[in-house]
Each structure stands twice: as C-alpha cells, then as structure tokens.
Structure 1
Amino acid sequence: MAAYEVEVATGDMKEAGTWDNVYVTLFGAAGQSERTELDNYGPNFNRGTTGTYTIKTSSTLGKLLLVKVEKDPFLVRKDDEWYCSKIVVTTPEGEVLLFPCYRWISREELVELRGGRAMKVFEDDHPLLVDHRRNEMMQRKSFYQWKILAEGLPHINHFNNVSELPAEVRISKKRESELLNTRRMTGLELKIKGLLGSAEKWKNIDDMKKIFWFRSTTMSEYVAEHWKEDDFYGFQFLNGVNPSVIKRCSELSQNFPVTEEMVKPFLEEGTSLQNEMKKGNIFIYDQKKMDGIPARLYDGETLRVTGGLCLFYLNPENKLMPIAIQLHQQPSEENPIFLPSDLETDWLLAKMFIENADSMDHQAVHHLMNTHFLIEVYTVATLRCLPVIHPIYKLLFPHFRYTLSVNTSGRDSLFGPEGALSISSLGHAGLMELMRRSHSEVTYSSLCLPENIAARGLESIPNFYYRDDGLKLWDIISSFVGAVVENYYPSDSDVHKDTELQDWISEIFTHGFLGNKASGFPSSFHTVKDVTKFITLVIFTSTAQHAAVNNGQFDYYSWPPNVSILLHKRPPTTKGQSSMTTILETLPNVGETAGLIAMARLLSEKYDDVVPFGTYPEERFDEPALKQMIKEFQAELSFLTEEIAARNSQLEIPYTYLIPNQMENSITI
C-alpha cells in the first residue's frame, strides 16, 4: 500500500470556491490510482483555502506524470465554476511535484494537469505524455483560431464577444465590476455638471477647468497651466504619451523649405541652422504617412487632417523647442511655415494641429496596433502552438493576462465604427487606413527599443527619460529572459529541434506581420540569441511599452487645448487671421470634450486587481533555478524603481510611466 499526499489550492478571487464534488486520479509511469473524491470533514473548496487529502494505491505509481481533475454537481443548482490554483503532490518516495492549474473549471469538466519540470516537445518520451501533449495542441488549435480584422492589419482572435472567451483568458468579475463603476461614476459626474451630451462650444479656455473637479492629477494640472509654452511642447515629444516619433535631422527635405532667415531668431546667437544640424541639435517630426488620408464628415462637411512637419531645436539650456511648423507635406502659398514669432494664436493653432495628427497616430498605431494588437497575435500564437508544460508558455502567459478580453471588447467600444475613437478627425475609416500604412512599414528593429533609439539618432539627447528608463528595463528583461532561455536551450541545436517553438514564431510572422520578409521579423529561430531577443520584445511590449503609451493619457489628453484627437475648423492657410475665438471654435464642443476625457480616464485608471510588473502570483515553474532567476529579476526591478524615484525627486516634471512597481505585468486596460 502506498499513500500520496495531495494539496489542492482554491483561488482567492470572488466566487472562486465551489460546493461541487471534486475527484482526482493520479497517473504514473507504472500505473494509475482509483478515481478518488477529495472530501475532508466540513467545507473543502472555499475561496482562498488549501486542503490536504490522501490518495492510497496498492503500489507506487512510478514517475508521476499527470493529475486528472473532475468536478461533478453536489446539489441541483446553477452551475458554479471553481478556480483551482494548483495541486501539489507528495509521493511515497518524498518527491514533491507542482501541478499548476490557474484556471476555472466548470461543472462536469475534466482537466488533466502536467507537473514537474517544464518540458520541450522532443523531451517527452512516455506514450501517455506524448498523447496528452498532442491532444492538448489539437484541441487548442481547434478552439483558438485566427480571423482577419481588415486587410493589411494583424490578425485577431476569432471570438466575437467577450462572453465566448474561455475562462482562462477572460477578464475577472472584479475587474469587470470596477470598469463598469468607473464608467458610471464618470458619466454621472459629467452629466450632473451638464457637460455630457452638450453641443455648446466653450466660451473661454478657463471654463474647461471645471472638468477637473471629478479627477485631476498633478501632471494634468501642470499641463493645463503650461500648455502654451514651447519648451513644454517639445518635452512632450520626448516624455509624453507618444515618445517614438521624432528623429535627428541632418538635412531638410525639399518639401519643407525652412530658411536660415526664418529660424535665426530662435537659435543661439552666432550660429546657423546648418551648423546646428551638423552638431546634432536639430530634430524633426514628420507625419507624411498621414498625408492624403480622407478625414471624416462632421455636420455635412469634411474635416481636415494635417500630415505636417515640425522642426525642433535643442537649445543651450537643453530644452527641445519647436522653431518651424508646416501643416501639410507640399509647400504652397496656402501652406505657410509657421514660426514662434508669428501671432500667438497662429502659432498655438499650428502646434495644436500637429498634436492632433500625433494623437491619432499615437492612439491607432503606437498604442492600439503596436501594443494591444501585436500582443494579441503573440497570445493567440502561444495558445495555439505551445502546451502549458512548455517553458516559453510558462514564461510568457503571465504577460498575456486579460489582453484577449480587453481587445475583444475594445474593438467595438473603443475602435469600432461607433467606438470612442471614431469621434477623431480621421474617423474610423481614416484610422484604419493610417494603421494599414503604418503596419506596412513596421520593422523588427523599429519595435526593439535599443535599435529604435539608435535609428532615430536619439542616443544622447538630454532629458529623454523614456529612453533612459526604457533601455534599462530592456536590459533587465533581456538578462532575465536570456537566463531562462539558456536554461532550457543550452545550444542552438535545441532551438532547431523544438518544432512547437518554430511553429509559434512562424504563426506570429504569418498572422502578425503578414509574411512581410522586408519587415525583418523572424519566421523561424536559428539561435538561442534569436529566441532571447524576440521574447524580450514580447515582454517589453506587454509591460513597459504599453505603460509608456497608455498610462499618461489622462495626464496629457484631459486638457483639450494641449492635445485633442478632434479639431473642428480647418487648419489656417494664412497668417494673422486667428484669435482665441478661432481656437475655441476649433476645439471639440463641451459634450465631445467630456466624452474624450471620460475615455482617457477609463484608460488611465488604476484598478484593484493589478499584478505589478515582475510579480508572478501564479506558481508555474517548479525548478529551484527558475525561482532564483525570478527573484534576481525582481531585485533588479526593485533597484531600478529606487533609482528612478531618486532621479524624479530632482525634476520639475517627474517621469513616472516606466517605474517598475507602477507598471502592470500585462495589458489589462
């Protein structure tokens, strides 16, 4: 007679427990146990509890391979799902094996759990494990399928509604409740103030400050006070919500005919534009990919979008100053170059139209497509190609929490034809075209931060905190990922042999980057370094990059004169004809403003069930070496948190979006 001690942990989230009967069967290399009900005196599977049970067998089962879990009805009542966190089995020989579950189990559902060390496909040698692995992947590929959202865009999961998603990837009931409460409270407060739904135009700029009554941040208040200032305008292109667009300028193109005479008053005395370009002090924002995209109709008239250019100068005080703006790509008499010396409202309008274009590029491309949509590709490929016992699945899955849920719901509520972003100057169709153009040009190196920074010539520009914090995070992630990957892939030949891993990257290349070889994205892995680099990108994107482009939206977007994705009037074609009345007429009306700010609040809100970056509450790795790697990773992140805090304490405008302990482990909003 042999006895196996079985510890079963129930999750601590709302409604995780169950009254149903739970049965376990153990499978070993030398046999299997009887189907055994787990039943101690009193309640067994209450929320947040761990129960210990004994399963007896006539002899030892040999190497323990699988644990089968079944849940049957105890009472005739509505189906209640049970969240099983993990099962730990101690064998008669004293070996302790972890069987991670971390999923909801429905009534009359059967779940088979793999335990022990993470295993690659060519390491499974027992027929039971080989069959289990094959069947798991057949079911996954049948269950998770690809769907085309639109031509030229990354493919998406095939589920049409969040309710169709399996429990393992669905958003928690607690988060659903929090999101609903935020929407209701924000809408109620705006409605009480008479803002929501109002078609009135703003009568003066200061009236907009009443919106801050329901929520403000130190940064949002700073933006409202300093939005007119040129040095703050330049600061936002380095450390605002879209820090990936400007680049060093060594030569001006013919379609942006800025002359020495135009900008001489804004440069250091005794220098010239040519000299400053040679010294590396001139930078450019060029939104040429937006040129020619039709804008949407508004009140029967077509809005205008400016795929413009803005020239910046890094002055001797290390401030990045805008010194020339052209609102359209082709110069003409009706497309003048605006300068800081022009009428104040002319210059403000020119800056506002550049920010309008940039905000749409930010939302559609750098936020939605390059973080949300690409992480969805990585998630679906992982679910289709890697079994739960695979080391890369164990490493990556915590960074995919809620993403399929958020994207599936957000495609209608945020990005759909009637979604919140459809109010933008481009509208839904225009944003889709912007995304197509951007995705056709995206490259592997452009998404890898060190290469992105180098390609844009921004390695040494001062006060670029997104770069400073982001590169440190990239290195920390890369070091951690490298250690994990090398632990499981000691040589390049191990990479070649892992057919599941090769299938994974092939699906990503096909469905994420549409087979575009010119993009430089890998379609297969050849070396351990190849795997490390790509997985570093995946984790960096789902954590740091998303935090950088998402978490500051309320800070910067809640003051419409600073940034607005909707502008009503056409951009100025002549100088000296504008006034503050023109600016007020150009900005969204009261109701539109309220709606846009409500969206920014929802996207920037902090929620209770956040999992901070680098924390892994789900114990998926059973190997001591891996647990030590995670501890060292967490220590590096903690050190960086302290380092950034010390730097921020000396800054007038702290950069907080890449503080590790304030970032999430995945895209959950």
Structure 2
Amino acid sequence: MSFLFNKGQKIKGTVVLMPKNVLDFDTISSIPNGGVAGAFDGLLGTATDLLGHAVDDLTAIFSRQISLKLISATKTDGKGNGKIGKETYVENHLPTLPTLGARQEAFDIHFDYDAEFGIPAAFYLRSYMQTEFFLVSVTLEDVPNHGTIHFVCNSWVYNFKNYKNDRIFFINNVFLPSETPAALLKYRKEELQNLRGDGTGERKEYDRIYDYDVYNDLGNPDRGEKYSRPILGGSSTYPYPRRVRTGRKPTKKDPKSETPPRETYVPRDENFGHLKSSDFLIYGIKSLSQNVLPLFESLIFDLDFTPNEFDSFDEVRELYEGGVKLPTDMLSKISPLPALKEIFRTDGEQTLKFPPPHVIRVSKSAWMTDEEFAREMLAGVNPCVIRRLQEFPPQSTLDATIYGDQNSKVSKQEMETNLDGLTVEQALNGNRLFILDYHDAFMPYLERINKIAKAYATRTFLFLSENGKLKPVAIELSLPHPSGDQYGAVSKVILPASEGVESTIWLLAKAHVIVNDSCYHQLMSHWLNTHAVIEPFAIATNRNLSVLHPISKLLHPHYRDTININGLARQALINAGGIIEQSFLPGPNSIEMSSAVYKNWVFTDQALPADLVKRGLAIQDPSSPYGLNLVIKDYPYAVDGLEIWDAIKTWVQDYVSLYYPSDEAVKKDSELQAWWKEAVERGHEDLKDKPWWPKMQSIEELIQCCSIIIWTASALHAAVNFGQYPYGGYILNRPTLSRRWIPEKGTKDYDEMVKNPQKAYLGTITPKYQTLVDLSVIEILSRHASDEVYLGQRENPNWTSDSRAIQAFNKFGSKLAEIEGKIKERNKDSSLSNRVGPVELPYTLLLPSSTEGLTFRGIPNSISI
C-alpha cells in the first residue's frame, strides 16, 4: 500500500519494550531444592548482561524483527475502514532515553506519511521473534495537524504465528461506541472479539482470552477422595462468582472437575508485565508451598527436632526475638527466593526468625485485655463484621426444620451483669449493644470440622461504654446437639472474669471467638468479598469495554494483577490440601463455607455507607456528612473509610460526567450495557435474578457501580489484607485453629488448666507447624511490592489524552493527600482511644500511600497480592 505515502515526509516514533524476563519463575520454580537462590543470582547476572548489551547488539536483535502498520482514524480504504499503512520496522536502539523505567528499552521507528493518510489512531503489530517481549508504549512525534500521539500498550507480544490476527493497539483517546470515528469501528470490534475468544479449547500461555468458568479446579479426585472438593458455581447448592476459563481436561474420576494445573493459565497480559518485586511476592507463595512448607513439616514431624507444641508464651515470642534453631544445613535446603529472604533471617546463625508483629512491638501482654479484644473489631484486620444488636435474644437465620432452635440462649440476667446498671431494653434502645456473630456461618459445618478439630460457633456480645469504648459482656459458645441437628444447639455462656480460673476460661472463650473471626476474615471478608467477587468484573470489562472506552480507562487500573493472584490462590492457597486448609480451622470445608456466605452477598451493600447502615452502625441523616451518623463515633475503619469512599465516588462522578451528559447516553452505550449484562448474568450468574442488581439505566447507577468496584478492589481490600501480619503475626493474638473445647470442672484437662493456664491456652490454639505455615504466608500477603501503584496514582502519565480527565484525577489525588493528613492527626488525638488502644498501635490501614514492605498502611489501586 505504498501508494498512500509520499516518500519525502516521515513521522518519527519511539517504541518502548522489555525483552522477555530472563528471571522466568517457571524456570526458577522447577529448580531442585537447594538451587533456587544460586540459580536466581545467576539469572540476575544474565539479565544484567542482556540489558547491558552494546547498542549494535540490541539493534541487531530487534531490528527487522518487529513491524508496525499505522491505521488512520480519519481516512478510509473505500470500505469504510481506516486506511492501513505499509509495514514498517523498528530501527536503532536508544539506550539513553531519560524516561525509561527499569528494564525498558527504546527503539526508533520512522513511518512514511502524507496528508492523504490522515491522523493515525491505531496500529497493527507483528513480531517475527521467537521469544515474546512486553510492549510498553509507542509514541509518534510531530504528526502533521496533530502533534504527539501516545499509545499506552502494556501487553505481551508473541510471534505472529500464535495469533489468528495481528495484534492491534489504539491511541490513548477515549470514545463512546457511538462517538468512535467510523474508520475505527471495525478495528474496535475486532479487538474485543479477539479478547473474547470462541469459548472452546485449552488456553495456551500466549492467549489473551477472557472467558468464564466455575471453580471446578480446587480439588483433584484422581488423587483420592481426600482431595475431592465440590464444584463451586453453577448450582443453587454451591453458588459462586466465576473465574477465568482455562479449558483444561477433566479429571478421570469426575468429568465435571478440571485437572489441577502445574501452572495456572491467566490471560497473558494479566501475568505481570511490570516484572519487579511483585513477581517475587507472588511467586514467593508458590516457593513457600512447593519448597519450604515440606521442610517445616520435616523439621517438626519427621526429624522430631522440636515438638509441635509451644510450651509457653515466651517460646512463641522467640519466633521474633531469637528465632527457631534449625538443624545443620536446614537453611541451605530452604534456599529462599528473594520474597522469602525477609522471613528467613539468619544473621549468620541457623535460625528461622520472623519480624516482630506490630501488635507486640510496644507491649507484650496488652493483646490479652478485653479492651483490645473489642477494639480490634473496630480497628483490626476484620472491622467489617461487627453489627449493632437490634433484637434480644438474637435470632438465627438457619432453617429450623433442619437445624432446630438455633436462637441465642444468653439471658438478660447474664447480660445485665456488665451493662453499667442498664437493662437490656435500655441498652438496646440507646444503641449501645453490639454483636460479633459467627453462629450461623459455622454451625452447619461444625460436625464436620470437629472430626479434626474442636470448635464452637460463637456469638460475642459487647456494650458501648460512656467513654466510647466497647467492652465484651458475654460470649456464647454453641455446639450441635449430640442427638442430631434437628434438636438445635447446645450452648454455654461465658462471662468476663479478671482473676482465678474463671479468667483463664474467659481467655479461652475469647480465643475461640478469634478463631472464628480469623477464619471468617480470611475466607469471607478477604478472599470472597474482595478477590473472588472482583474477578468477574475484570473478565467482563476486558471482554466488552474497548480500551477506547472511558469506563475501561477508569476501571482497568483496579484489576491489576487480580486475575493472576487469584489463579495462584487456586493453585497453592485455597486448593485441596493447600495452605489455607492446612492452617485454618475449617480445613477441607473452607471454600465451601464461603459459598454459603456468597448466597447472601449483595452487590449494592458493598458500598461502605450501605454496609454501615445494614449492620446498624450508622443511621441515615441527610444533614450529616456523607448522609450518615455513626453509632460508634470512634470507629476508625468507618471514619477513615467514609472519607476514602467519598473521595472515590466524587472522582468517579467527576470522570463519568465528562462523557455521559444524560441517562439516555448511558442507556444507549452498547458496550456499557453489554458489560453490565455480562458481569451480572455470567460473572455472577448464580445471583443474576436478585432484584438488588442496578439496571444500568442512569448516570447515578453507573457512578454507584464503578464506585463499588473501585472501593472493593482498593480500600476494602487494603483494610482487610495489609493488617494480617501486624495483628495476626502474633499467633496468640489471632489464632487460626482450635483443638480443645473449654474444660469442664472435674476433668483432667480442667485440673491441668488450673495448674498451667498458658499451656492450656497454647494447647487450645494453633500448634507450632501450622503457626509457621500461617506466619510465612500472611507476612508475604501483608507486604507491598516496590512497584505498587496506589490509589490516586497511574502507571503511565499518558493514560488518557483528555486533559479534563487528568485534571479531575489530579483533584482526586489531592483529596487523598488531604485525607492522609487528617488520618494522621486523628491518630494523635488522645480522646480517640479506639484508634490506638492498649497495644499502642495507631490505625493506619487506610492511609492511601505507602513505601515498599511490611508497612501496615497503603491502599493499592487493585487486589495485587
């Protein structure tokens, strides 16, 4: 098509890419035990050599290997489609470009041009290389009648033979479907079809196909009944959000189950294009699962080096202060990846040592107080479950025809012992009674759980004192009736005590509550309510909203790495026999329990104001800030969260208003309507008939839906994730297993509890091996990568060409900085005692910014770990 151009005029371009990462973690993970660290060091040297090649060498590698063909947005080929320019190849390497990021390389390219071609707005790319590379961006300079044009690409590119069509990339402009230049319509639709695929076949590494499937790959029935798991999704019995389809072959014993993978497929562009320490964090989990945990097990069980019981609280603290002494050469066998080097600190000694958790950095015993126990329900790692008690006694929602009477058995007399002279009715009417209620979530599974553990279904009752602090007033511990579920629950009520054997029983009761809370947190508050529910929206966005669509540009940063970390979770964390089943109470029932909770998940209730009202912790008041009055004024998660929520919603409103002048524009947006329909009807198919789904017929609904997605992926996930190690790294504070019921008077266990309360506590909660598993995982999960992108930030300053959107985004960033300052000031206010508590740990989880590492703060844009 050379007739399109006059040879005398050229457009200069710059192509920025990254060569294939030589630190290939598939390669690293296949290296035998003992060779990982050495192999890593060797590969790092190779990478340095590769990126340090002379200019002529890199030019030789990439020259004539990558070609581009520009596509016009203003001139057509006679068939209504944008003109396509001639194939043009990348040229010289530009090693001194000052704006390059780590490991990025830039190359010249020059396109022939004349006025008959018009303004380019897309290009086809073809790679003739045998090895993939990551295309970062393409910039065209001095385009006649236009100026500079940016293409933000961020995509892996393979040899052209792997694709049915050449890869296509678009300008950083935004167009609603109805406003798209006619010359680009064909190409816009073509790229979306490429991303959808045809729903058949097994996905390959180079694929970029987004499709839906049920969770049918958590178990592996071919390994035996022990590893069979129910299929989640596709039935009313086990409803669940959808995951990315991989198309792997079914297992031999169950044709509905998918064969678990050695390496989980995710669409290629979801698989870490940034290639920095986030790779190490994620693959640290894989290394932990495949290499390290078997050695922990060998250390404790096979070698009989140390018993699987802690003897005292001091021995638990030795994990952070002195470390666990290891046999000769044990550390060399572990050979950790860089992500694990922070866990395995040797200081020249054969020790396994963890960093001190924040909760005991000031006081070693304040975690035991009732005040701290209650405060962490408002400012801990799981602050979104507590609710106001609005009826007494609390009623169960379990089906009475199956489970009998499961209503609370706590009496008014027991409650009023600790209500500061008030009656239950007075406390209820004054909005001063609260409950942390895990009864209905655990009771249906207790019979199965207690075949391998000793757990209760718990209800914890709390009273709001005049000083604004919560205090626990009673704990109800319930078990299934020994004669059958239909006979209801057998319950006991434990009241607070500060001395004698009663204080030990009270401490054990609190431990059972926290075990319930830890497991609910990890499986529901964290995994289900953030990771699992967001993935369908990520799939639907990629399938239905073109990169040219304004809502795609709004939401895409909030999906960064989520599909990838979820795929890894299915492979190593939530799979049958995986890390969660090993170290958390429900064991093989874990993800099935989250399915039961998903039955009652409501999308619109994920908005923080709606959530607070639903839990009775806020009362609607149009005259108040955010339209709410908090029932507990000093509720750090809610106070900080409402400011973040409002900033997100204001940003979304400012952005959406740039492109949608009316509700009619929302209704007529074909891509938007297809996106929402598919997210609801396929992504959350098992709940698609629920009446609470927004209909996407108005600007208000669009703002609401986008705000909920962004809040869930950013602030909500930050609130329930990055405090895991700071609070849970001290296993005494947040145990994950319970192995003994509270001893009855007259038994041997009771007598031993009287003699040695610490040993009774340690014998009840998580033992040593599971503690090592738990701490190793949550330390990785609580860390920020060096290349994390936080709320109010974008990876590329040229993410859009719309200066109005940039201005609105800068306003959002300024608001977040203002909120950060206000949170810091609140944490200094001594009258706000719930923000710091007896452990003297300020609530910082919703501070928007952070540095790398274990910081106990920072709101990433997305669920990236």
Q: TM-score, normalised by structure 1?
A: 0.91
User: Matches of residues 507-656 of structure 1 in structure 2 within 5 Å?
Assistant: 507-516=678-687, 519-522=690-693, 524-572=695-743, 577=750, 578-579=753-754, 580=757, 581-618=759-796, 619-650=798-829, 651=836, 652-656=840-844
1:419-465 CA-to-partner distances (Å, cap 9, x unmatched) read 11102564344223321221111113321110111222222303211
Change (3 A) 1:90 1:32: farther
Which residue among 175, 191, 202 is the counterpart of 1:119?
175
Output the amino acid matched with 1:23.
S
Q: Larger relative contact order (C-alpha < 8 A, sep ≥ 6)? A: 1
- Residues 1:402 and 2:573 are matched in the alignment: no
Q: What is the deviation of 1:660?
A: 0.6
Residue equivalent to 1:666: 862
SS in 1 for 2:542: helix
Contact 2:18 2:133 in 1 (8 A): no
Q: What is the deviation of 1:158?
A: 1.3
Contact 1:99 1:113 in 2 (8 A): yes
Change (3 A) 1:456 1:508: same
- Residues 1:26 and 2:37 are matched in the alignment: no
Residue correspondences, number: 662
Q: Is the deviation greater in 582-591 or in 488-497? A: 582-591
Q: What is the deviation of 1:308?
A: 1.8
Q: What is the deviation of 1:334?
A: 5.6
Gaps of 5+ in 1: none
Residue equivalent to 1:170: 271
SS in 2 for 1:597: helix
- Residues 1:211 and 2:319 are matched in the alignment: yes
- Residues 1:62 and 2:241 are matched in the alignment: no
Contact 1:291 1:329 in 2 (8 A): no
Which residue among 141, 145, 150 is the counterpart of 1:93?
145
CA distance in 2, matches of 1:41, 1:554: 45
Change (3 A) 1:7 1:393: same
Q: What is the deviation of 1:297?
A: 7.1
CA distance in 2, matches of 1:193, 1:290: 31
User: Matches of residues 322-471 of structure 1 in structure 2 within 5 Å?
Assistant: 322-328=472-478, 335-341=491-497, 343-424=502-583, 426-458=585-617, 459-471=630-642
Contact 1:290 1:434 in 2 (8 A): yes
Contact 1:296 1:303 in 2 (8 A): no
Output the amino acid matched with 2:468.
N
Output the amino acid matched with 2:861.
N
Change (3 A) 1:35 1:549: same
1:2-39 CA-to-partner distances (Å, cap 9, x unmatched) read 43232333359966977323322222233443222231
1:518-576 CA-to-partner distances (Å, cap 9, x unmatched) read 74542631101100011001111111000011001112212222222211113556799
Change (3 A) 1:112 1:44: farther
SS in 1 for 2:491: coil
Q: What is the deviation of 1:237?
A: 0.7
CA distance in 2, matches of 1:647, 1:225: 25
User: Matches of residues 242-391 of structure 1 in structure 2 within 5 Å?
Assistant: 242-253=382-393, 255-268=407-420, 270-295=421-446, 301-328=451-478, 335-341=491-497, 343-391=502-550
Change (3 A) 1:293 1:506: same
Contact 1:220 1:558 in 2 (8 A): no
Contact 1:612 1:664 in 2 (8 A): yes
- Residues 1:134 and 2:141 are matched in the alignment: no
Contact 2:241 2:686 in 1 (8 A): no
Residue equivalent to 2:25: none
Q: What is the deviation of 1:346?
A: 0.9
Pairwise CA RMSD: 3.1
Output the amino acid matched with 1:320.
L
1:29-80 CA-to-partner distances (Å, cap 9, x unmatched) read 334432222313777999435445432235441232322222323xxxx614
Residue equivalent to 1:201: 309
1:487-522 CA-to-partner distances (Å, cap 9, x unmatched) read 111111111111211111112212343353674542
Gaps of 5+ in 2: 1-5, 23-46, 52-57, 76-82, 198-208, 216-231, 233-237, 247-260, 322-353, 395-406, 482-487, 618-629, 830-835, 850-857
Q: What is the deviation of 1:97?
A: 2.4
Q: Is the deviation greater in 584-593 or in 347-356? A: 584-593
Residue equivalent to 2:136: 84
Output the amino acid matched with 1:654.
P
Contact 2:713 2:863 in 1 (8 A): yes
CA distance in 2, matches of 1:222, 1:336: 35
Which residue among 241, 258, 263 is the counterpart of 1:154?
241
Q: TM-score, normalised by structure 2?
A: 0.71
Q: What is the deviation of 1:582?
A: 2.5
Residue equivalent to 1:501: 672
SS in 2 for 1:227: helix
Report percent identity of matched pairs.
Answer: 24
Residue equivalent to 2:351: none
CA distance in 2, matches of 1:63, 1:216: 59
CA distance in 2, matches of 1:503, 1:243: 35
User: Matches of residues 218-257 of structure 1 in structure 2 within 5 Å?
Assistant: 218-221=358-361, 224-253=364-393, 255-257=407-409
Contact 1:543 1:666 in 2 (8 A): yes
